[in-house]
Structure 1
Amino acid sequence: MTNTDNTFGAAFAGFAASSLCLGVLSTQAYSYFKRYPLDKRFYKWLVAGLWLLEVGDQCLIAHAVYTYLVSNWGVVTILLAPPVWSLVLQIMVGVVTGTIVKLNYAVRVWRFSKENIPVTGLILLLTFGELGVACWYTVKSFQLDSLANIGSEKNLGTLSLALGMATDVVIAAALCWFLRGLRTGHGKDDSVVNSLIIYAISTGGLTSVISFTTLLLYNFMPDNFIFMAFYFVLSKVYANSFLAALNTRRVSRGRGTDAETTTMPTFLMVGKVTQRTIQLDPEAHAQSPISPGKSDQKSSLSPMQSHTYAEAW
């Protein structure tokens, strides 16, 4: 007898969790357009596109869950029928979102590494490899005679999830490695770099853990839908991490509202320049009325550190 808790129940739990993630994503998208009205048009379209993709992804999840839990309420034999089209198509939409986000992080690696071709090329190879395998998995899933046989495509599904997890690890490791080169020895500068390293580890670690958990569940428990619950939220975690990076920028060149003092450094801030500026005391050229005998060549040197954060976009 089919256990409805780890099949229909797990799918419903995944739908609820992904709905919550979509709510967070919508809030971040609203915050982005409100705080950065002068940002580049390309990234405005990118944010809008990611949000629309995830809204579409959530609609597909909702349709699949509604089909299994409402339209076929109590009909357990629905699991023996071919998978509903929306459930299969959702796989592809989720991978597209992850691919877009990973390509943007690949650009970050490219710039932080001073155009390192091997590392950036490896990230691109893994990213497009995952996309290709996911496309083939989607095609094969449409050909399934029964949803209960979804485990028959375990090899393709495992490879796709493994490639995604490997990409996250490589991106996080590459960013941490190349960010080390931005350290200058100044406490304030190094604290920014350390914050970026922590952000890289936490973001890559979170998506890697979700991918790894989905992979394990899919391999060891393919007969239930618990792995689907984790996969439902995966693409939204990618999108949220990207928008979080956009919304925590310190903007420059008049873009956005940088009057806020609580913004944190992100990967969108590169080109950090630390320099010491020598300023001449304007009063040093004038003879002191109290000490007229002092030389008019007197000057004072005041070291000043200036930190310029330029956007990488």
Structure 2
Amino acid sequence: MGVPGAFGSILMGGLVSAMLYGTTTFQTYIYFMHYSGDASTVKFLVAAIWILDTLHLSCMCHALYYYLITNYGVLTSLEYMVWTFPTSLLINVLVISIVQCFFAHTISCLCRPQKKWLVAGPIILLVLVHLGPALEAVIMMFVNRDVDILTQIRFSAVLPALAIVALVEALITISLCVLFHDSRSRSAFPRTKRLFQTLIIYAVNRCLLTSLVTIAEFTVNVNQQDDWTMGLDFMIGKLYANSLLASLNTRQYLRSQHSGTESAEHINTIHLGNLPQHSGDVPLSVSALGKATALRSEGEPKF
């Protein structure tokens, strides 16, 4: 496998990954500028995600430089994996696990106390199960630097790990959509219904891109296209990092949209009939996609 055939798709994946890192950095800056009042644990989580993403970019750049610059034309170098490639895989495993656990925690906050572990528990369990084959693949790559190791661990480690990641994404999205739809159906206020409709759309969009890339990586793995597998793997961790940051950074937008809708409805009510605002129609505490939505003041039960 020569350099053009092996590294064309890998280089493209690296370039897209570098652009996604710029988005990660921008979103991290936006978060610390606008959400300085968040809990220390959330701010630590955001900082940890950005640091891991920065390390991943460094490992990716080193791997590409090693093959395309330092050992350009040295065909024997293509038979071995440089140490930064399995390191980048390990960082991806950590980022994906952290992000999925974050959304599992969010789902548990949305559920009733007696049902939260019934809904969020299987998701957390699958995330932990995913660590088994994922870490096995990384360790095997560190122990055996031969490129042929990818063929040996494909069906025992790589494909099971990707399948579990895709399954967890589906469970997170379905859980969020069901919870938001249930709250929407129980609400008597049009503005609250519209808000939950927006949250459902956000939940689907959050899952869509990460799921598509995960399924694409699974497909090229089955077809034994290692170059495309590496290119997609460079991107997948950054997609998860951006999905978490986007869910945190949309809170202010959702609050402003909800506040604007509430004001418009209040003005229309006065104009049409000089009717007072209902005492039960109180402002909704809107959080990010997948964050707990407080509706106790409206008397709406949780899922």
- Normalised to the residue count of structure 1, the TM-score between the two structures is 0.80
Asked whether the 8 Å contact 2:16–2:235 carries over to 1, the reply is yes
Q: Does 1:104 align with 2:102?
A: yes
Give me the CA root mean square deviation: 2.2
Asked whether the 8 Å contact 1:250–1:263 carries over to 2, the reply is no
Residue aligning to 1:11: 10
Asked whether the 8 Å contact 1:80–1:147 carries over to 2, the reply is yes
Q: Which has the higher contact order (CA 8 A, sep 6+)?
A: 2
Q: Which amino acid aligns with 1:150?
A: L
1:186: Cα distance to partner? 2.3
Residue aligning to 1:178: 179
Residue aligning to 2:198: 195
Instruction: Identify which range, 143-152 or 11-20, moves more after superposition.
Output: 143-152
1:228-243 pair list within 5 angstroms: 228-243=230-245
1:145: Cα distance to partner? 4.9
Q: Which amino acid aligns with 1:161?
A: L
1:90 to 88, 91, 103: 88
Residue aligning to 2:50: 51
Secondary structure of 2:284's partner? strand
Count of residue pairs the alignment pairs up: 268
Q: Does 1:217 align with 2:220?
A: yes
Unaligned runs of 5+ in 2: 260-273, 293-303
- In structure 2, relative to structure 1, the CA distance for the partners of 1:70 and 1:108 (3 Å cut) is same
Greater Rg by CA: 1
Q: Which amino acid aligns with 1:41?
A: S
1:141: Cα distance to partner? 1.6
Structure 1 vs Structure 2: percent identity of aligned residues? 26
Q: Which amino acid aligns with 1:307?
A: P
Asked whether the 8 Å contact 2:27–2:245 carries over to 1, the reply is yes
1:168: Cα distance to partner? 0.3
- In structure 2, relative to structure 1, the CA distance for the partners of 1:251 and 1:45 (3 Å cut) is farther
1:306: Cα distance to partner? 2.0
Q: Which amino acid aligns with 1:226?
A: W
Unaligned runs of 5+ in 1: 253-257, 265-299
Asked whether the 8 Å contact 2:140–2:149 carries over to 1, the reply is no
CA deviations on 1:126-152 (whole Å, 9 max, x unpaired) are: 111112221111111223352144122
- In structure 2, relative to structure 1, the CA distance for the partners of 1:263 and 1:27 (3 Å cut) is farther
CA distance in 2, matches of 1:218, 1:301: 63
Residue aligning to 1:279: none
CA deviations on 1:206-258 (whole Å, 9 max, x unpaired) are: 11111110011012033x41111111111111110111111111399xxxxx7
CA deviations on 1:142-190 (whole Å, 9 max, x unpaired) are: 2335214412211110000011010000000011111112111422111
1:263: Cα distance to partner? 8.6
Instruction: Identify which range, 16-25 or 37-46, moves more after superposition.
Output: 37-46
1:310: Cα distance to partner? 5.5
CA deviations on 1:72-105 (whole Å, 9 max, x unpaired) are: 0012221223x11110111111010111111110
Q: Does 1:309 align with 2:285?
A: yes
1:118: Cα distance to partner? 2.1
Asked whether the 8 Å contact 1:248–1:263 carries over to 2, the reply is no
Runs of 4+ aligned structure 1 residues displaced above 6 Å come to none
Q: Which amino acid aligns with 2:14?
A: F
Q: Which amino acid aligns with 1:164?
A: V
1:39: Cα distance to partner? 1.9
- Normalised to the residue count of structure 2, the TM-score between the two structures is 0.83
